[in-house]
Structure 1
Amino acid sequence: MDDSDTAAILPGDVLNAISADHTSNSDSFDHKEEADVPSPLPTTRSVRPPFPCWRPLSVEPVMFLSMFSVALQAPLSTQYLWDRISEDLGYNGSKRSECSNSSVPADPLQKDVETLTAHWNLYISLGGFAVGLLVVPLLGSWSDLAGRRPVLILPNFGMALQAGVYLVVMYLKLPVVYFLVGRLLSGLSGDFNAILAGCFAYVADTSDRRSRTFRVAVLEACLGLSGMLASIIGGQWRRAQGYINPFWLVLATNLASALYAYLFVRESVPPDPSAKLLTSRHHKAVWHLYSTGGNGSEGSGGFHRCKLWLYTLCFFLVVTVHFGSRDLYVLYELSSPLCWGPALIGYGSAAQHLAYLSSLLGLKIMQYCLKDSWVALVGLASNITGLLVFSVADTTQLMFTGYGLCFLFMAATPVLRSKLSKLVDPSEQGALFASVACVESLCFLVGSGVFNSLYPATLHFMKGFPFLFAAIILLIPSGIIGILQCLDQRRDHRDATGS
């Protein structure tokens, strides 16, 4: 850390020194120190947590706790919808006979239950993410001025409110349409996407360019570890005690995450007390970034802007496949021929989230001998092969084989986030992660809409077709990343030889 620089910019404030240190480290690569140093802002004690610890604490626990609540809630809410719709339609579990005898024709009611459950998942996702699509860019860009901590606290309260609404629905056995109400309330606070945007922006604030890819991968590994624990706990707990008690834990976890962010997370940017949330300035910053290529476009602004758009497209396609196919795993496993119970569903979800950790380890190892782009391609190849196996899986063994082949499927997203972050100046990180949060909200929206509609529409000819479709889609970002890396290598070679 460059203590002299930080003392010169913001003397006497350790929190502001963190932000200034990140600026000076990143500027050593871009040679734009004076342009990237933020204008002097009124210092305030609000940048310090109420109970500062003797060691700096980062945002990984916030990500861990928030993801734990999401991973615990998502499969349980789908199973609750399945059970409520089955009860309403009079479907009494005839799928058990299909598991014992594959020659038994499918119960028509089972297809009705699958279709209605997929549609309600679609409505709930569309409602929440449509609202979040408007709110998340505002919160993400606003955090560049007002600080990251508010964006880590407010969405957790919104998610806790959603869990409270779900509990009321379960206690009173209200119509499932009230799930949509809870989802909308969470979307108005930014939902989990706003927490993602705040956490990744915080990491960009406090890391240099060389270590950023691995720091982002560590943050995503927190997603996997918490998701794995929540999946195992959720499956066993639901079988033992039903749905209500696990949702109380969801509520408590969101409140704990908000409390941790408020008490212990140090601010990474100097807050501006005059920063307004409801202003067009935030959307204009994002538009400027993608229309001009940003201040970091250097000499070749056109090519730089093109790379920004292409990497954003790759991120959109990869994350859309992740979230779209994730909604279908539980439905695919609940119905014949797999007919999994809560325990196996929990183990399957845990195996999926374990890939976050194996991807982190694989990324670290591959970085010693491969450039980041080739690491991303290996991760995409792992994802494609796993999806191909899922598309034809008709046994438990084959389903877990698909989970095993996806052991590197999360290696691509940290590389893409890091590449996007490195394409812009440190002063533009807030606008960048606001746009990434917007894209991620759109990924939820499009992924949920396409895959939850595609699944019931293709049940009659190929149950696993959505997974095959997802594998084909991933060929597009694979080609784009490979071509851009080859162009960069050719350009570097030409510059080195002087031709």
Structure 2
Amino acid sequence: MTMAAPPEPPPASEPPPAAKAPGRRLAAVEPLLFLATVSLGLQGPLATQYLWDRLGADLGYSRGNSSSADGCTEGPGANVETLVSHWNLYINLGGFFVGLFSVTLFGPWSDSVGRRPVLILPAVGMAMQAAIYLLVMYLRLHVGFFLLGRILSGLTGDYNLILASCFAYVADTSAARARTFRVAVLEACLGVAGMLASIGGGQWRKAQGYINPFWLVFAASLAAALYAVFCLQESVKQRKPAKLFTLSHYMAVYRLYTTPERQGSRQKLALYSLAFFLIVTVHFGTKDIYVLYELGSPLCWASDLIGYGSAASYLAYLSSLAGLRVLQLCLEDTWVAELGLISNISGLVVMSIATTTPLMFTGYGMLFLSMAATPVIRAKLSKLVNETEQGALFASVACVEGLCSLVASGVFNSLYPATLHFMRGFPFLFGALILLIPAAIIGLIEVWDSHLAYRHFSRSSMSLTNS
């Protein structure tokens, strides 16, 4: 055993993740996430509207650019809504099903080879997807080619891998005590980029159509890849060659939940992952149908109002960051997350009954704290595992997010057309009911932890008294 001592100084000489985290490195990943989110924020609403116009033209239905009811009729419009919803379902299912496996493959791989490769690859994939969408628009190809572009992007990890790798980058370069707020800052970056993309995309599409805005989608994705290549610093210090196509990457994620040590932590890991799954599923699912809900009767929004609505939804990232920072001064993170869920539930309930533009924007306004729950859960998950398990943890979170997208697309895009005949806003009400489950999980874990801490304190006091 004495011979094992000399080789240990080199690893010990490297500072721990919390100590090797100068602020400049944390900021370095934010421009990449900003560019990728701009690309995604432009692409989502524009692609849905393009599908609406192309498929509506095939059915002989044309949507006016006015937000009045003159440009929106109940009969043909409802048929177009159903068709677009189904195409969204096919495209999202194809991309997310592929991405579910690629993200969990690339995530653990990044622990060995570094974060930069798994940030470059999905950015290139998103640029390829945008290029295919441009070809469809230029050549008037069948909209089924949208599915091909989505699958190609999914094979490279898609936006979910960029998101997961950026959070892993933050975990590599942040102290545990500050991680909740640092994660919230990263999520606020999503809000700023999404808000700018939504406002600009709606106005730009109204003025010049679809092709020019999609060139910006392509350019933003390509710029994100180039930034990762030439500007981003590597956060993984002890890199080593590793095979990509091996089951060991999937096993690393599996072992995270099955290792017998620290059973209490593993149980909380599973419960927090379930809560995260439900919250993000509702978020993705309702976001998928915002545009369809606003295009249809009785709202009948034009592209500029759709852009403002998308911007309002992204604004929740910034308001949640501010609310989180203020509430942390007087509340535990758990209760901040609970307030965030209450905000989310109330906003969705209002949207479910919105028949006018002011009421719809009231629903958006009530979502002001809705994004406070996810950074709290991400930080709690990160603190439940060892430093050597951080890569596997964020791979599992990426897996959960991929599964969220898969389930959300299947459930909400199927539920929306099925409930049009009796309540157009029923999917929002359904999402609000689902959010009651993670609210109960998070609250119960906090109460149980407080109970255990009290029992431990009582036993310590009794031992001191008896002694």
Shorter-chain TM-score tier: over 0.9
What residue number does 1:36 align with?
Answer: none
What residue number does 1:63 align with?
Answer: 33
Instruction: Give 5+ residue unaligned stretches, structure 1.
Output: 1-6, 27-53
Are residues 1:268 and 2:235 paired?
A: yes
| Secondary structure at 2:233 match in 1 | coil
1:159 & 1:328 partners in 2: Cα distance?
A: 22
1:351 & 1:98 partners in 2: Cα distance?
A: 21
**Shift of residue 400, structure 1, vs aligned partner:** 0.3
What residue number does 2:226 align with?
Answer: 259
What residue number does 1:72 align with?
Answer: 42
Once the two structures are superposed, the pairs formed by residues 376-395 of structure 1 within 5 Å of their partners are: 376-395=337-356
1:370 & 1:97 partners in 2: Cα distance?
A: 43
Are residues 1:233 and 2:200 paired?
A: yes
1:410 & 1:470 partners in 2: Cα distance?
A: 15
| Secondary structure at 1:410 match in 2 | helix
| Secondary structure at 1:174 match in 2 | coil
For residues 361-382 of structure 1, the C-alpha deviation after alignment (integer angstroms, 9 at most, x for no partner) is 0001111111111010000000
What residue number does 1:460 align with?
Answer: 421
Q: Specify which of 127, 132, 135 is matched with residue 160 of structure 1.
A: 127
**Alignment CA distance shift 1:123-1:173 (3 Å):** same
For residues 438-469 of structure 1, the C-alpha deviation after alignment (integer angstroms, 9 at most, x for no partner) is 01000000001100000000000000000000
Q: Specify which of 190, 195, 199 is matched with residue 166 of structure 2.
A: 199
The AA in structure 1 aligned to 2:28 is S
2:64 & 2:241 partners in 1: Cα distance?
A: 62
For residues 199-228 of structure 1, the C-alpha deviation after alignment (integer angstroms, 9 at most, x for no partner) is 000101111110000010000000000000
| Secondary structure at 1:337 match in 2 | coil
**Alignment CA distance shift 1:472-1:95 (3 Å):** farther
Contact 1:94 1:107 in 2 (8 A): no
Once the two structures are superposed, the pairs formed by residues 125-274 of structure 1 within 5 Å of their partners are: 125-274=92-241
What residue number does 2:316 align with?
Answer: 355
**Alignment CA distance shift 1:446-1:148 (3 Å):** same
1:61 & 1:405 partners in 2: Cα distance?
A: 29
**Shift of residue 274, structure 1, vs aligned partner:** 2.2
The AA in structure 2 aligned to 1:203 is V
What residue number does 1:90 align with?
Answer: 60
**Shift of residue 493, structure 1, vs aligned partner:** 1.9
**Shift of residue 107, structure 1, vs aligned partner:** 3.5
**Shift of residue 98, structure 1, vs aligned partner:** 7.5
Contact 2:111 2:239 in 1 (8 A): no
Contact 1:23 1:426 in 2 (8 A): no
Q: Specify which of 7, 18, 22 is matched with residue 17 of structure 2.
A: 22
The AA in structure 1 aligned to 2:448 is L
Q: Specify which of 341, 344, 351 is matched with residue 302 of structure 2.
A: 341
1:95 & 1:24 partners in 2: Cα distance?
A: 55
**Alignment CA distance shift 1:229-1:115 (3 Å):** same
Contact 2:280 2:404 in 1 (8 A): yes
**Shift of residue 9, structure 1, vs aligned partner:** 3.1
1:109 & 1:94 partners in 2: Cα distance?
A: 13
The AA in structure 2 aligned to 1:423 is L
2:392 & 2:291 partners in 1: Cα distance?
A: 36
Are residues 1:309 and 2:309 paired?
A: no
Contact 1:95 1:107 in 2 (8 A): no
| Secondary structure at 2:402 match in 1 | helix
What residue number does 1:288 align with?
Answer: 255
The AA in structure 2 aligned to 1:9 is P
| Secondary structure at 2:176 match in 1 | coil
2:376 & 2:253 partners in 1: Cα distance?
A: 21
Contact 1:145 1:270 in 2 (8 A): no
**Shift of residue 92, structure 1, vs aligned partner:** 2.5
Are residues 1:487 and 2:454 paired?
A: no
**Alignment CA distance shift 1:339-1:229 (3 Å):** same
Query: How well do the aligned residues superpose, as a CA RMSD in angstroms?
Result: 2.2
Query: Which deviates more from structure 2 when the two are superposed, residues 466-475 or residues 253-262?
Result: 253-262
Contact 1:201 1:429 in 2 (8 A): yes
1:199 & 1:149 partners in 2: Cα distance?
A: 10
1:271 & 1:483 partners in 2: Cα distance?
A: 39
2:437 & 2:157 partners in 1: Cα distance?
A: 30
**Shift of residue 145, structure 1, vs aligned partner:** 0.9
2:330 & 2:451 partners in 1: Cα distance?
A: 19
The AA in structure 1 aligned to 2:405 is F
1:258 & 1:495 partners in 2: Cα distance?
A: 51
**Alignment CA distance shift 1:488-1:25 (3 Å):** farther
**Shift of residue 197, structure 1, vs aligned partner:** 1.0
**Alignment CA distance shift 1:244-1:378 (3 Å):** same
Contact 1:95 1:110 in 2 (8 A): no
The percent identity for this pair of structures is 62
1:24 & 1:80 partners in 2: Cα distance?
A: 49
1:323 & 1:201 partners in 2: Cα distance?
A: 21
**Alignment CA distance shift 1:260-1:217 (3 Å):** same
Contact 2:299 2:355 in 1 (8 A): yes
For residues 13-60 of structure 1, the C-alpha deviation after alignment (integer angstroms, 9 at most, x for no partner) is xxx95xx4316689xxxxxxxxxxxxxxxxxxxxxxxxxxx9545211
Once the two structures are superposed, the pairs formed by residues 105-124 of structure 1 within 5 Å of their partners are: 107-124=74-91
Once the two structures are superposed, the pairs formed by residues 320-339 of structure 1 within 5 Å of their partners are: 320-339=281-300
**Shift of residue 305, structure 1, vs aligned partner:** 1.6
The AA in structure 2 aligned to 1:339 is C
1:95 & 1:147 partners in 2: Cα distance?
A: 48
**Shift of residue 93, structure 1, vs aligned partner:** 3.2
For residues 325-378 of structure 1, the C-alpha deviation after alignment (integer angstroms, 9 at most, x for no partner) is 001000000111001001000001001101100000000111111111101000
Instruction: Give 5+ residue unaligned stretches, structure 2.
Output: 1-7, 463-467
Contact 2:74 2:297 in 1 (8 A): no
**Alignment CA distance shift 1:190-1:488 (3 Å):** same
**Alignment CA distance shift 1:55-1:399 (3 Å):** closer
Query: Which deviates more from structure 2 when the two are superposed, residues 192-201 or residues 55-64?
Result: 55-64
Contact 1:25 1:208 in 2 (8 A): no
For residues 87-108 of structure 1, the C-alpha deviation after alignment (integer angstroms, 9 at most, x for no partner) is 000012389797159xx9x542
2:200 & 2:81 partners in 1: Cα distance?
A: 25
For residues 111-135 of structure 1, the C-alpha deviation after alignment (integer angstroms, 9 at most, x for no partner) is 1100000000000000000000110
